[in-house]
Structure 1
């Protein structure tokens, strides 16, 4: 049965910048791949999958599992050595999709166990990197992939080779891949270090232009009704696009990158204060690819502009919560308007084919996420105010810092009614600082991360098991085979059977769900207390971002509590939620704890292996409703039965204290930490003071 044809690349409406980014990395794979960030339903996956259909067909060595080019075979190919010009076959360019749950062995390749145990031969079983050689490797939801796998893929894309040293196997083979990753920022961001290693990045959103949305729906319905007929309609456009790609691939090596162009690229990268030299190199490669795509013999100003818009925005991030962006007015000033040397007559394309992925010259000032009208641009990517200089982190509040406060100012009377005219206030957080390390007790089996101890597929080997999914534990396997054959008569070589196979048990670190419950009542707003609380919580979110945790936010104030942010990978969403959090009103502490418990029950059903750390930020007061304090204590006394580890961050400050948060922590079986002790530096200082004393 014939397969259903893919939606044609040339039939996709809008998404011009995503199209040109994919084209450039196809023309010059050494650009380093493309990261596509965008909301759900914006045809990210459709566009990547449809690209493979317009890639030129390839000649490969007949029978080679690694797809060697017969004209230039890899001298280290495990299926070689190959003789240049030997028998070749043609195949379409490959699109290989990497599943989120893929193991290291599946990606890089591993020992062929069937041959090793059957015939005693040490043989290599190729992985996905071998399958994708000279083709496209697509990772959907790349932000949910384990960090070490992303590192591995980016290393292979940058080096063009895959090297495996494992289980008695030492293999290296060519792995020239076009890496494309797509992600929804709502599910969390990639670390800046990984962002920087993607050559190009694009942001897309759904069109807000009614006419364009109508055309998108019309084409999709037509495709669903008759895929073959719809593909036939665009066959000529597809063939033209494929021929143009092939011509650009042949031409790119001959495109001149003049000293003038190199100077402009250096000026732009230096002007945007990007780290390292990767930005300059990627911009130069992308500019040459764009010139080849536009049928130019040398790099022009417009090529540099297009390349910079794709290569620099994600390298502007300085802190975890900084949004990628580029100030295009600054880009134009840096590019200047001096005369280009020896301009060629075909420097402009006055009649772009709407069915081809063309960069719209009128839309170059717009946002990179347009899957909408070529006219009009959103300036939300502008980031000109960021100087790249971080302010010095504030010193967390120390005891005695508010000794001049009166009892009334500290609101010791928990039952005092709130003035009806009191309006909620919004405090702004200061620069985050490094917080103490908080972990969940015991050893879990959750998703790999950087917080709590766990049995993972990445870490130190601590044992072996018979029925497992980890890498082969050779010493344990040999030991099991030796013990099984110890009672046999006669001597001979060791026979290893399937029942002797043992797998490694490795211990590393897992990510957790960090559920933050924040008291936003009026008592938390005294003087600078709420500012300190928000700074501490934002600092905790930065820590959660670095440890690859999921996060959720519960807030309580007035008469009720609210799950302000359900558990998500998007630490940025949590930071935004807390930044605008108002404070004021009474303190419904019991409702806050109950809301957190209900949220955790739901999350336990969704993800039973992910352990939870509750961080409760409060001064311990409970003033909402009758018997508020007793109800809160009743809930706290039953918290240990939930099995959830908790930390109570005591927000009470000043000279006169009631100690309610400390009592709450004791009832919950939680760790008690004051705001002054929340920072990692405060712990170091305390240890030093004790050692001096």
Structure 2
């Protein structure tokens, strides 16, 4: 959606001015968010802002208010206000980057390009609400355009390029799922917002909102002078940006700071330098100082510290203080060395004294891999159960994680966009043209078919003549995210053999894979006399990891209850989200215990999963010299794929496991 003037609805030809939006100056609190948006307005090359926060924290209000502060866009037709372009989550790639102008093709037989939303956002604001729900390939397109300032299109026989400099702002609620770390890094700045817990602040927020709703024009007029002053400062800072000096001293401070946080690549260094320069220009200073670097680091580094998808975001102020102090010492040492040794030292001889690897230090800093701080790993300190109770103790620490092989559901679905199983998707790539309705119009296929008949149809005036039989639909294929229900055996038979460490390590590896493939997950544990749903279906996969790390083990193995609980979760979720296909991933040694004939009951419950058309994979965790092979029998009963736990690693075994297949083929 492009916000601009629109024609009046009363029949007049005069343009109707829309109702004023909430003024930027009237926002209460959210100082860091307002500063981040302002700096990106001063220097769009920073790469945009990602706003993370709970619902109802004025994320959208602040972003929409920013557009009114941007300098007007000057073009061949004069000047116009900067636009706010909103990109809907369901937008297609054609709508975002542009496509062939169908009207000109059909009317004039001329190949022409019709710009998309990126062109409309030039010199304005491109706003993506719920950016974490946007398809990954569209996020890549947006971030590439924001970084390059131009869009290049090579498609449908058209080659086109146009400028696309805009302030990119994405908002998201972390409870609905996170962005991949690779995409997090592509956003220049990130800000976490939350509602204030101060009563006076909350009262002020409500009062201003009610005043605005009562009379938007009067409320906007009250803050017009402050907004005009902000707009003037942004324009002045933009003009002064090129003249701001970034000295080698501050550049060294920036490099040392990024190195101390061990960020990947060089993007953080570049963004931090641009942000510090923009902050200096915003202050009206002629050179970057340590203060500018500190402010820029608070906005640039928090989201780049997530080395793992399940790391907590954020930046501890004390940690930043320590890093700034260390960076300052590095700068001081470099300046002192430069003063004492004006001439550069020759390169050291790698084979000379001091050229070898440093000797390891002796003392207490040696290998501690054999030690453990977990009481569960020390037999004399393990929690002893009361008489008549099943053993109950924390699970051992998860083993090392690994990249898992791809587990997919057979067939082609129509679920939410993701990266796991094949699906028919309006956002997917065009595979071919089809005579069926398809997913949209296959324009090139339609024109090629029509071109063969132009002479026979008597085309004389240059216009292409179409017939209904020419129309070709687009057959699109993409990937969908699935619901993955983990059924984890946490019984005594697993813990007694210290196998649960390997199992939890494997589950966390599979959860990481689910995170990257945009799945929803649920976690069921089996221990004692019941199966427990410890995590209902959610897109916040990192919550599943936290629950799993606090898992307790012990007791019998109620496999039948676990499979029945999984079936119940899948069927209930199917009512809420009927298009999302489900896969049950059970990790067990297959040794059902408790009750009468527990193995037979487990097989019956497993067959009920198959009867409900639920795809499944059973991961056999049995180890040791003597193996009963019960897990394979359960996999056969549920008509699912069977794989041993040591075959989950993508490095060890290549191939795809398709759930629902009775036989497993590597």
Given the two structures, how large is their TM-score scaled by the length of structure 1? 0.79
Change (3 A) 1:651 1:23: same
d(CA) in 1 for partners of 2:604, 2:331: 77
d(CA) in 2 for partners of 1:186, 1:440: 26
d(CA) in 1 for partners of 2:303, 2:646: 35
2:30 paired residue number: 15
Q: 1:593 pairs with 563, 586, 593, which one? A: 563
Q: Secondary structure at the match of 1:654?
A: coil
Q: 1:446 pairs with 415, 424, 433, which one? A: 415
Which structure 2 residues correspond to residues 476-625 of structure 1 after superposition, within 5 A? 477-479=447-449, 482=452, 495-497=465-467, 500-625=470-595
Q: How far does residue 658 in structure 1 lie from its aligned partner after superposition?
A: 3.0
Q: How far does residue 26 in structure 1 lie from its aligned partner after superposition?
A: 0.4
Change (3 A) 1:489 1:33: closer
Which structure's relative contact order is higher, taking Cα pairs within 8 Å and 6+ residues apart? 1
Query: Aligned pair count?
Result: 584
d(CA) in 2 for partners of 1:603, 1:304: 48
d(CA) in 2 for partners of 1:138, 1:250: 25
Change (3 A) 1:277 1:257: same
User: Is the contact between residue 457 and residue 465 of structure 2 (CA under 8 Å) also seen in structure 1?
Assistant: no
Q: Secondary structure at the match of 1:292?
A: helix
2:337 paired residue number: none
User: Is the contact between residue 462 and residue 507 of structure 1 (CA under 8 Å) also seen in structure 2?
Assistant: no
Q: How far does residue 337 in structure 1 lie from its aligned partner after superposition?
A: 7.4
Q: Secondary structure at the match of 2:585?
A: strand
User: Is the contact between residue 253 and residue 330 of structure 2 (CA under 8 Å) also seen in structure 1?
Assistant: no
Change (3 A) 1:27 1:114: same
Q: How far does residue 470 in structure 1 lie from its aligned partner after superposition?
A: 4.1
1:58 aligned onto 2:78: no
Name the Cα RMSD after superposition: 2.8
Q: Where do 5+ consecutive residues of structure 1 fail to align?
A: 63-87, 341-390, 394-416, 686-693
Q: How far does residue 425 in structure 1 lie from its aligned partner after superposition?
A: 2.4
After superposing the two structures, state which structure 1 stretch, 329-338 or 97-106, moved more. 329-338
d(CA) in 2 for partners of 1:4, 1:39: 27
d(CA) in 1 for partners of 2:605, 2:31: 55
After superposing the two structures, state which structure 1 stretch, 579-588 or 467-476, moved more. 467-476
Which structure 2 residues correspond to residues 450-465 of structure 1 after superposition, within 5 A? 450-456=419-425, 457-459=427-429, 461-465=431-435
d(CA) in 2 for partners of 1:471, 1:168: 16
Q: How far does residue 489 in structure 1 lie from its aligned partner after superposition?
A: 8.4
1:66 paired residue number: none
Q: How far does residue 419 in structure 1 lie from its aligned partner after superposition?
A: 3.8
Given the two structures, how large is their TM-score scaled by the length of structure 2? 0.82
1:328 aligned onto 2:320: yes
d(CA) in 2 for partners of 1:634, 1:147: 40
User: Is the contact between residue 405 and residue 654 of structure 2 (CA under 8 Å) also seen in structure 1?
Assistant: no
2:188 paired residue number: 199
User: Is the contact between residue 305 and residue 313 of structure 2 (CA under 8 Å) also seen in structure 1?
Assistant: yes
d(CA) in 1 for partners of 2:468, 2:65: 42
Change (3 A) 1:230 1:562: farther
1:309-366 alpha-carbon deviations (Å, 9 max, x no partner) = 21122222222222334331333213427999xxxxxxxxxxxxxxxxxxxxxxxxxx
Q: How far does residue 453 in structure 1 lie from its aligned partner after superposition?
A: 2.5
d(CA) in 2 for partners of 1:61, 1:488: 42
d(CA) in 2 for partners of 1:565, 1:230: 46
Q: 1:681 pairs with 648, 651, 655, which one? A: 651
d(CA) in 2 for partners of 1:294, 1:490: 66
1:310 paired residue number: 299
1:152 paired residue number: 141
User: Is the contact between residue 427 and residue 582 of structure 1 (CA under 8 Å) also seen in structure 2?
Assistant: no
